[in-house]
A and B are shown apart, each in its own frame.
Chain A
Amino acid sequence: MLVIKNGRVIDPASKTDAALDVLVDGEKIKEVAPPGKIAAAGAEVFDAQGLIVAPGFIDLHAHLREPGQESSETIETGTRAAARGGFTAVCCMPNTKPVNDNASVTRFILDRAQATGSVRVWPIGAASMGSKGEAISEIAGMKDAGVVAVSDDGKPIATAKLARQVMDYCRSLDLPVMEHAEDVSLATGAVMREGVTSTRLGLRGMPAAAEAVCVARDVQLAELTGARLHIAHLSTKASLEQVRWAKSQGLRVSCEVTPHHFTLIDEDVTYDSRFKMNPPLAAREDRTALLEGLADGTVDAIATDHAPHQAALKDVEFDRAPFGILGFETALALALEQLVDLGRISLMRMVELFTTGPAQVLGMERKVAAGRPADLTVFSMDRTWTYNVEDSSSKSRNSPFDGKKFKGGPMATIVAGRMVHKN
């Protein structure tokens, strides 16, 4: 038994923001009560004085690289980094080697997670075989094995026809379709966002329209099929407008935004490949729109797009470097800094974006209440610390936030009643 004492519980599902003690028994929450009311002799005590106790954070979008790219990350190292970042569950994208496009790969991932993982791993299955955009994958089989969504992430579902088929099928299976929205024909050879900075640096840019064109296509198909569509790592104003419109029409469309897209912009890009990711850092006005979307509810979740790449791959010329940066360990601190401390959103809303928001995308619930799974994230609003990527739990080091000072961050991560990380 574990009792978390003196913390400030923030629970978006019940709109609770109060000083409460939480008693954990086994894998479940046993009791939530005002301070001092819980009598649990012999229970281990975690003093959360001055800390926030929230439902366990969910990351809808991560790359754990196993199987196949274990030099960059494994389920063990990736989930350890996730635990350090306060995440209790991560959804891993299917672009592994082999691609997670059938139940055996799904089961392999879940077995590895069981054996080596620190937090819950919820695999996302490929929408098409090999994510090649040709034939639809074995989605029902993967669903039985445990996938929570489908996606061809890394690229969009190749054609409108296939996207329609996938959405149609996923509607009947009640699985969300997560779309990496990008018109690849507009983005060929591009390494950053098209704009003044790309023009000045002489780097090939992809226009903002490359994303919005694809979002528009998929929103239309969501209307046609009635499917649950989730736009991954949404980065532009125009895409956000599409989502806003879809929601106003009552379509089952949701979206996520990454910490780096609400923190950085294309003007921050130098020839340092740690600033290279896809979608690329967007324009100033796009970031402003994303901040508005995070505040007004258009954005459903903050997701990291944690994308580790070993130095041998990433530390090369900008043009040759693969897209992607680390995300788990800095996500909460960036959200506190950029969103809460600057008064752009409330603390309650931020917690929602990490918990009930992503849970709803997956058709789940998150709640700090008796009888619920004891998945909890405890964090500080004021602890100052410096992110030193050399100390990261990830196998890779590709973070543009290395050396950055933060105020506030994860203090303890509890998954199924077990303390998997403690500061």
Chain B
Amino acid sequence: MAVSTKVIVRGGENKQIPRACRLRGFRMTSCAIFLQPAKIWRTLTYRFRDLLALEPLTADELRFLLDRSKPSQEIQKHPLKKLATLRGKTVALAFFENSTRTRISFGTAAARLGADTMNLQAEASSIKKGETLLDTAFNLNAMKPDCFVMRHSASGAADYVARHLDIPVVNAGDGTHEHPSQGLLDALTIRDRLGTMENLNVTILGDILHSRVARSNIHLLGKFGCRFTLCGPSIWVPRELEKIAPGVPIRCVYKMEEALEDAHVIIMLRVQTERLNDPPLSANDYILLYQLNAKRLRRAHRNAIVLHPGPINRGIEITPDVADGPQSCVLDQVTNGVAVRMAILYLVIAGASESGAHPALEARAAPSEESSKKTKESANAGD
């Protein structure tokens, strides 16, 4: 049964959007930047229309999303993987920045839910012809997708588009800000492998400053009592990182041996080789100081697991024996990525119009136009 609550349905008219403008000494309006209150889904649950960042989500909401991924994980093991849950729905995959893994993962997730996709890739797009991000988004939206999954090189780009679109926006990575689905799939992988994601020692290695993955990891796992050690060259691991999530114990260290001490989870980040010259740091020095090899891994907890969002630079940040070793979860992450993204798409699309069971439990056709319309109308009325 749907539990209808106060919903803000954002129309095309962006004048209705409350502005986020805090001034010294008082608050003008509430911040609508990350948050769009959305719909109640059965018991709890998810207050937002979009999925733009993990930072504003509560532990309950995060756990809910992970729990909702479990049935999808089961589906990955079936010989027949296609459901009809989102049949008739369309997911726009707007990748303004190159991506292989995430785009295919979202595409696969959509396909397994029975949804169609429309694809935008940076190289082929009219962005090259000078069209603005918003115009591109409006044009794709005019083809009537039900959800807008986007990646963009500018931090806050998904947030910006979400303020202007009337359909749910899912952030598939915005600049150096957040990568929510990656944060969720990492947590799912950790929880599956270690049996818990609470109170763990998590070490993140590499270019943290420019990593959207690290931020999403911190904002998720930090809400479950995890302690973070961030390690890498100091210019990539500024002390400010220790304060980005108030209440979460985060420390920056610059010696890898120290960083690995007693770690339960080691999250490697890709060395963006294009950044190795800015700041100047030679690849050889990086290997010498920060490469994860078998010997260094032994400093971590006995059962420590190693994650990497990919793509891996074998022989730079990680040695092949570790990448392929028993502690590595790299391929589990990829499998879980599809499951998490199925849960996300289901949540933002079907959750918008209907409560109800998970796709895996209730593989049936998408909700009818009428029922979704009704929900929106009642929502508007209650606003």
Contacts and interface: CB of A to CB of B under 8 A. Distances in A.
A404 B20 contact: no
Contacts of B177: 201-203
Given A271-B33, A404-B23, A201 B155 contact: yes
Interface in A48-63: none
B176 A196 contact: no
B373 interface: no
B262 to A, nearest CB: 26
Interface stretch (A5-13, A122-130, A212-220, A260-268): A260-268
A26 interface: no
A68 to B, nearest CB: 20
B265 to A, nearest CB: 22
Contact of A202 (B31, B133, B160, B174): B174
Given A202-B175, A202-B212, A271-B159, A404 B28 contact: yes
B225 interface: no
A8 to B, nearest CB: 26
Nearest to B175: A202
B155 A268 contact: no
Q: How large is the interface on A (under 10, 10 to 19, 20 to 34, 35 or more residues)?
A: 20 to 34
Among B22, B152, B245: residue with most chain A CB under 10 A: B22
A199 interface: yes
B133 A316 contact: yes
A391 interface: no
Contacts of A402: 19, 21
A403 B244 contact: no
A408 to B, nearest CB: 15
Nearest to B208: A199
A272 interface: yes
B48 to A, nearest CB: 16
Given A271-B160, A319-B175, A196 B243 contact: yes
Contacts, number: 92
Nearest to A188: B278
Nearest to B241: A199
Contact of B154 (A196, A318, A342): A318
B29 interface: yes
B157 A317 contact: yes
Contacts of A338: 24
A201 B21 contact: no
Interface residues of B, number: 37
Nearest to A268: B22
A25 to B, nearest CB: 43
B155 A203 contact: yes
Nearest to B55: A200
Interface string A269-307: 011101000000000000100000000000000000000
B27 to A, nearest CB: 11
A198 B244 CA distance: 9
Contacts of B20: 270, 272
Given A270-B31, A317-B156, A320-B154, A200 B24 contact: no
A338 B33 CA distance: 26
Contacts of B243: 196, 199
A318 B155 contact: yes
A274 B19 CA distance: 11
Interface in B13-50: 19-25, 28-29, 31, 33
B162 to A, nearest CB: 10
Contacts of B238: 199
Contacts of B245: 200
A146 interface: no
B303 interface: no
Contacts of A202: 155-156, 174-178, 212, 215
Contact of A317 (B21, B154, B209): B154
B21 A403 contact: yes
Contacts of B156: 201-203, 270-271, 317-319
A272 B154 contact: no
Contacts of B126: none
Interface in B56-111: none
B151 to A, nearest CB: 13
Contacts of B244: 196, 199-200
B240 interface: yes
A202 B173 CA distance: 11
Contacts of B25: 342
17 contacts: A196-B243, A202-B174, A202-B175, A202-B215, A203-B155, A264-B23, A265-B24, A270-B33, A271-B155, A271-B156, A317-B157, A317-B160, A318-B156, A318-B160, A319-B156, A320-B154, A400-B21
| Closest 10 pairs (CB-CB, A-B) | A271-B156, A202-B177, A202-B176, A202-B155, A317-B154, A319-B154, A200-B244, A199-B240, A196-B243, A196-B240
Interface of B: 19-25, 28-29, 31, 33, 55, 132-134, 152-157, 159-160, 174-178, 209, 212, 215, 238, 240-241, 243-245
